[in-house]
Amino acid sequence: MILPSIKNINVRGKKVLLRVDFNVPVKNGKVEDDFRIKKTLPTINLLKKKGAKIILISHTTKKGGTLRPVAKYLKIKFIPDLKLSNIKNGEVVLLENIRNFNGEESNDSKFAKQLAGLADIYINDAFSESHRKYASIVSISRYLPSYTGLLFENELKNLESVFKPKHPFLLILGGIKFKTKLGVLNKFVAIADKIFIGGALANDFFKIQGKEMGESTIDESVDVRKYLDNKKIILPIDVVFKKNKILDAGSKTIKLLSGLIKQSKFVLWNGPLGDYEKGFSKATFDVAKAIAKSNVKSIIGGGDTVSAIKKSGVSLKKFSFVSTAGGALLEFLAKGTLPGIKALERQ
């Protein structure tokens, strides 16, 4: 898929509205994880070098929330000349939380037009937000020449490769809500050679099989019965059962999955394999280490997945590609496109 690129335009002296995703973890007014920020810096630095007047727009999940901690962090760590107004060529300004405006989430065309009035060019570098039909993602491209940023291009290039993978191809799905992963399972059951389903997702299969569940997490909104006898699908063969719940995969399962990784040429992984935030992290950590030690091409994504791997001590550089996206990753893998992509295709 070829979209209009930032690489091919002259932006000197022009105001560029750059949509980024700086919705990063903040605690006590301080940024805790700058992974997404760092991934966006190449686009910002390229625009600075080209002499653009850069207007950053982002959001925080909480409506009414503020990006002030992010602005402070940017100024200290990466953009010393970050401004609040009156930018010159090569300078950067960060606007306040875009979701504080009613027209954003309703994809209001009047709001999008007002937003477009701030700049000469629009660039989307927020792939991780491009599954949302919001004004700053979709409607704005109707009113400005629109392009992809470097991060957006890199996400698209790497995630498109998943549709034509090297084989054997192992898909690892974990996490809690099966409803969000069902589209990926439906898509890749015909593409992958093996699909390991772990985390709370496996509980939906265990329930159908009549296994002891206790108070384990189950997604009642999905029916996985049609996949129960599919030979591609592999479930945990042992689990850690504590506090009347299934909380992690067991040692035999870890050994099985590590063996599958060694046999594979491509691994796609989304979702932790246990309740790692409460200390049940062995399966997730060991699988991260197994992938890191192998020569397999690997793509991982999802906020919880990346967070868990960081806690494991495994460097993200050990993986072929680490996506900044969560929901957008799952929707793109399931559908092959996103609302933000379709908006740029109109150009």
The torsion region of residue 57 among left (phi > 0), alpha (psi -120 to 50) and beta comes to beta
Sign, CA torsion 249/251/252/254: positive
Of 175, 198, 199, 303, the active-site residue reads: 303
Of 177, 207, 255, 310, the active-site residue reads: 177
Residue ranges of alpha helices (H) inside the chain are 35-49, 68-77, 102-105, 109-116, 150-160, 182-188, 201-208, 251-263, 282-293, 303-312, 327-335, 339-345
Active site includes 88? no
Active site includes 327? yes
The string of DSSP letters for 194-261 reads EEEE-TTHHHHHHHHTT---TT----TT---GGGTT-TTEE--SSEEEETTEEEEE-HHHHHHHHHHH
Q: Check: CB of residue 168 under 8 Å from CB of residue 206.
A: no
Q: Check: CB of residue 292 under 8 Å from CB of residue 314.
A: yes
Q: What is the dihedral of CA 181, 165, 301, 197, to 10 degrees?
A: 40
Of 51, 65, 183, 327, the active-site residue reads: 327
Residue among 277, 325, 267 at smallest CA distance from 298: 267
Active site includes 177? yes
> d(Cα 108, Cα 231) in Å, to the nearest integer?
47
Of 14, 36, 48, 53, the active-site residue reads: 36
- Counting beta carbons within 10 angstroms of the beta carbon of residue 333, is it exposed (0 to 12), middle (13 to 18) or buried (19 or more)? buried
The torsion region of residue 313 among left (phi > 0), alpha (psi -120 to 50) and beta comes to left
Active site includes 278? no
Q: Which residues are catalytic?
A: 36, 177, 303, 327
